[in-house]
Amino acid sequence: MRSALCSALLCGVAFGAAAQERVVTFEETPPVTVTGFAVGRADYDRLVRTNSFTAGKIGVSLFKPAGDAYLFAQLTTALDGGGEAATEIDNLLVSWTPRTANQWTVAFGRFDSPIGFERDDEPLNLIPTNSFNFTFARPGKLTGVQVHYTASPRLDVWGIAANGWDVGVDNNRGKTALARAQFIPIPWVTVGLAGVYGPEHASTDAQQRSLLSGDLTIDRGRVILGAELNLGRERTGGSGDVTWRGAAGTVFVRLARNLGVTARYDQMEDTDGLLTGTPQILRSVTVGPMWYFSSAREGIFSNVEHTRFHLPQIALRAAVRADWSSQPFFADAGGALQGSNTTGVLELVYVF
């Protein structure tokens, strides 16, 4: 009797599907995966003479697979310098990998530029402040289309056409092109080389900017080294081009199962003042411990870039940072510019 009822039910479902000309499947639709992170900080600034607690940032990301494609989107709400909260589309990526040519991936949207070791999202870094190189010397975000080709397990190649450096909507008629090759000569070493070229000024395509950026990551388990070098030039149309160069190196040492220490040296030479507005050489030294606990679940936030360091669910990071400039650049409490500054940070990062 039960078998007869089941057969009748299946026949009815099949007949209804045929009548509506659609395929019936008993597979569950892949769910939308929600992940993200939250950041709280305590900051001290010697020059401005301030110390403050802030619940400063939260990022929520959505991941939805659909056959050969997937959608990844991230909304980030963060406090600006004046304490006002603003929400932006930090990442929005539609990616497609054909089944018949799975070495190729085509993606469109807003994404992290595949340059260097640092990223703008706190969970993806090993120290709670960004370097001058990340802030000034290279683009952190791009909006456009990218093609990724996996030539072999050791070699990857990217080609990107984007609006420009860190802009959501293009401010001129030209496009910025980026090409990158990434090579893994041995399992614990990753070497990357990228070139960027395009106009970056509003309402003109005349002043082309070029950048050559190289990065190196070494992961030996207890020790992680990440370094980058940036060499840039921009046409001015006058007597000569303006240039800049910079380098940053980060070292993380695991002292115990849940404890490590990170140090970074950073130097940015903007001798023509193109990027910072002041002809100067910027230097910084940052050092501090990190205590971390548990492991975040698998997702878009899974590992520090190019390493096997799995992101912790909870990380408490402290750092002392000393900055210097060859010219007065750092504003004090009265608005006057000084040649050096010292800041301290205590940061709590939670990944969910």
CATH number at residue 38: 2.40.160.10
Q: What is the pLDDT of residue 18?
A: 41
Average pLDDT over residues 2-18: 40
> Which domain range does residue 111 map to?
31-351
Q: What is the pLDDT of residue 84?
A: 86
For residue 8, being part of any structural domain is answered with no
- 122-131, 293-302, 325-334, range with the lowest pLDDT: 293-302
For residue 1, being part of any structural domain is answered with no
Comparison of pLDDT for 28 and 254, the residue scoring more = 254
Q: What is the pLDDT of residue 276?
A: 96
For residue 16, being part of any structural domain is answered with no
- 96-105, 264-273, 291-300, 329-338, range with the lowest pLDDT: 291-300
The string of pLDDT tens digits covering residues 157-201 is: 999 999 999 998 998 999 999 999 999 999 999 999 999 999 999
pLDDT level of residue 239 (50, 70, 90 thresholds): low
Amino acid identity of residue 331, one-letter, is: A
Amino acid identity of residue 25, one-letter, is: T
For residue 107, being part of any structural domain is answered with yes
pLDDT level of residue 28 (50, 70, 90 thresholds): low
| Strand positions, DSSP E, 223-273 | 223-234, 242-256, 259-270
At 283, which helix (H) or strand (E)?
Answer: strand 280-295
Q: Which pairing describes strands 337-338 and 330-331: parallel, antiparallel, or unpaired?
A: antiparallel
Average pLDDT over residues 219-246: 92
For residue 23, being part of any structural domain is answered with no
pLDDT level of residue 22 (50, 70, 90 thresholds): very low
Q: Which pairing describes strands 208-219 and 223-234: parallel, antiparallel, or unpaired?
A: antiparallel
Q: What's the mean per-residue pLDDT of the chain?
A: 90
Q: What is the pLDDT of residue 24?
A: 47
Q: What is the pLDDT of residue 29?
A: 63
* Structure tokens given for 42: 């305590």
For residue 11, being part of any structural domain is answered with no
For residue 4, being part of any structural domain is answered with no
- 54-58, 215-219, 244-248, range with the lowest pLDDT: 54-58
Q: What is the pLDDT of residue 6?
A: 42
For residue 26, being part of any structural domain is answered with no
Task: Indicate if the pLDDT at residue 79 is higher than 80.
Answer: yes
pLDDT level of residue 16 (50, 70, 90 thresholds): very low
Number of structural domains in the chain? 1
Phi and psi dihedrals of 17, rounded to 5? -65, -40
**Helices marked H in the chain:** 2-20, 132
- pTM of the model as a whole: 0.87
